[in-house]
Chains A and B, each alone.
Chain A
Amino acid sequence: MKYLKNVTTLTYTGEKCTGCGRCVDVCPHAVFAMIGGKAAVLDRDLCMECGACQRNCSAGAISVDAGVGCASAIIRGKLTGSEPVCGCSEGGGACC
Chain B
Amino acid sequence: MKPLKIVNTNMDPAALSPLRQQSSCAPKACSCTTEAAPALHDEKALRGARWIEGAIDTPAGRVPVVSTAWKAADRLGQVRARVSSFRMKYAIDPGLYAVGRPGMDSDVYVSANYKLSFDVLRRALAGKDAWILVLDTGGINVWCAAGKGTFGTTELVNRIKVSRLAEMVRHRRVIAPQLGAVGVDADAVKRETGFAVRFGPVRAADIPAYVSAGYKKTDAMRRVRFTVLDRLALTPMELRPAVKPYLVFALAMLAVSGLAPEGILFRQAFSGALPLLVLGLAALFAGAVVTPVLLPVIPFRSFAVKGLVAGAALVVPIVLYSGMFEGADAALLAASYVFFPLVSSYLALQFTGASTYTGMTGVKKELRYALPVYIGGSIVSAIGLIAHNLLVRGII
Contact = CB atoms under 8 A, between A and B. Distances in A.
Contacts of A49: 359-361
Chain A interface main SS type: loop
A86 interface: yes
B33 interface: no
Contacts of A72: 350, 353
Interface in B168-214: 178-179, 181-187, 199, 202
Nearest to B354: A96
B354 to A, nearest CB: 7
Chain B interface main SS type: helix
Nearest to B197: A56
A73 B358 CA distance: 13
A28 interface: yes
Interface residues of B, number: 59
Interface stretch (B39-47, B157-165, B222-230, B275-283): B222-230
A28 B280 CA distance: 37
Nearest to A73: B353
Nearest to B150: A89
Interface in A51-85: 51-52, 55-56, 58, 65-75, 78, 84-85
B353 A70 contact: yes
B140 interface: yes
Contacts of B301: 2-5
Contacts of B367: 71, 74-75, 78
B128 interface: no
B202 A86 contact: no
B222 A25 contact: yes
A39 interface: no
B148 A69 contact: no
Interface string B80-121: 000011011000000000000000000000000000000000
B363 interface: yes
A96 to B, nearest CB: 4
Interface in B270-320: 295-296, 301-303
Contacts of B187: 56, 58
Contact of A4 (B144, B182, B365): B365
Contacts of B296: 1
Given A50-B179, A56-B184, A74-B363, 15 more contacts: A1-B226, A3-B362, A4-B301, A25-B181, A26-B199, A48-B358, A52-B146, A55-B185, A66-B147, A70-B353, A73-B353, A74-B360, A85-B148, A88-B145, A94-B85
Interface of B: 84-85, 87-88, 138-141, 143-148, 150, 178-179, 181-187, 199, 202, 217, 219, 222-224, 226, 237, 240-241, 295-296, 301-303, 349-350, 352-367, 371
7 contacts: A4-B365, A26-B199, A28-B179, A46-B357, A67-B359, A71-B367, A86-B148
Q: Which 3 A-B pairs have the closest CB atoms?
A: A70-B353, A49-B359, A67-B360
